[in-house]
């Protein structure tokens, strides 16, 4: 479980200390390598969960610049259903005999490139959507933040070491065994960081227990925005 974040400069300082470097490392390369290894880890809790309200224009809206993964999307008090491009056009039109008002129908959406596309029209009662998404946390300078976890910091440092060794290996100045050791180290800490991030805390374990240990599953809890999905089931004798 991730609670705090730290600057990439923590990794940079660790490299200078552990490798006893006397030459300066290119900071831009370290930032990019840290971003690469964070993407390789890809744990849910390493991202920052954000909520944005997007104004639709002809059913479309541009996604936030730090959008990485979709968590939830709704319009008013109704969740939107995922659709494909061809299906969305089908849902966008109704027959002339249809008497069902548009506000009572199911809305659909899909994502293409950096654009959110829905079948919500400009004359619909609500033309805004609430978007919950995962984004990459950044510092005041716009650099990606690293989870303040020993395994994440080690994974970033080991990956930078591996990339530095790989450069030398490509020039023929690095033995194969050294490069293989660097690769093994960074892969080990990538898996360790992912496991550390995905380990739930005590409260989350209780919530998981309440979700799994049920006689009556909450099949339609999405319509209630999953507010009661982790409530303990209570059965009463009549």
The model's confidence at residue 33, banded by pLDDT at 50, 70 and 90, is very high
Instruction: Give the domain-ending residue among 85, 114, 135.
Output: 135
84-94 average pLDDT score? 57
Say if residue 168 is in the same domain as residue 103: no
Tokens at 126, concatenated: 């609500």
Q: Where do we find the tokens 């978007």?
A: 131
Banded model confidence at residue 115, pLDDT cuts 50, 70, 90 = very high
Across 114-124, b (16+ Cβ under 10 Å) vs e yields: eebbbbbeeeb
Quick one: pLDDT at residue 197?
93
Considering the domain architecture, whether residues 130 and 99 belong to the same structural domain is answered as yes
Contacts of 41 (CB under 8 A, 6+ apart): 152, 155, 190, 193, 194, 197
Residue 111 lies in a domain: yes
- Higher-confidence residue of 219 and 59: namely 59
Residue with tokens 């600057």: 7
What whole-number distance in Å separates Cα of residue 169 and Cα of residue 163?
Answer: 10
Q: What is the pTM of this model?
A: 0.76
* Segment 127-173, tens digit of pLDDT: 899 999 999 898 888 888 999 999 999 999 999 999 999 999 999 99
Whether residue 19 is found in the same domain as residue 61: no
Instruction: Let me know whether 19 and 86 are in one domain.
Output: no
89 and 168 housed in the same domain: no
Asked if 99 and 121 sit in the same domain, the reply is yes
What H or E segment, with its residue span, contains residue 27? helix 27-41
DSSP string, 54-118: EE-BTTEEEPPTTEEEEEEEEETTEEPEE--HHHHHHHH---TT----GGGSPPEEEEETTEEEE
Its domain, for residue 19, covers 5-46+147-198
Length of the chain in terms of residues written: 238
Within 10 Å of residue 73's Cβ, how many Cβ atoms? 20
| Same-domain status, 104 and 73 | yes
């Amino acid at each position: 479980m991730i609670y705090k974040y730290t600057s990439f400069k923590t990794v940079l300082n660790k490299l200078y200390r552990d490798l006893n470097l006397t030459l300066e490392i290119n900071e831009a390369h370290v930032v990019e390598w840290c971003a690469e290894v964070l993407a390789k880890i890809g744990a849910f809790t390493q991202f920052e969960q954000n909520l944005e309200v997007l104004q639709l224009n002809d059913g479309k809206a541009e996604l936030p610049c730090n959008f990485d993964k979709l968590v939830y999307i709704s319009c008013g008090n109704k969740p939107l259903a995922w659709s494909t491009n061809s299906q969305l056009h089908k849902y966008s039109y109704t027959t002339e005999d249809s008497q069902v008002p548009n506000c009572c129908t199911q809305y659909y959406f899909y994502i293409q490139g950096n654009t959110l596309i829905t079948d919500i029209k400009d004359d619909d009662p609500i033309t805004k959507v609430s978007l919950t998404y995962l984004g990459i946390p950044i510092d005041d300078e716009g650099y990606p933040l690293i989870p303040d976890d020993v395994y994440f910091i080690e994974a970033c440092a080991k990956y930078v070491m591996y990339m530095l060794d790989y450069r030398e290996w490509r020039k023929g100045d690095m033995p194969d065994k050294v490069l293989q050791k660097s690769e093994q180290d960074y892969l080990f800490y990538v898996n360790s960081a992912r496991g550390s991030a995905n380990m739930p805390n005590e409260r989350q374990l209780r919530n998981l227990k309440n979700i799994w240990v049920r006689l009556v599953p909450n099949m339609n809890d999405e319509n209630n925005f999953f507010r009661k999905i982790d409530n303990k089931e209570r059965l009463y004798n009549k």
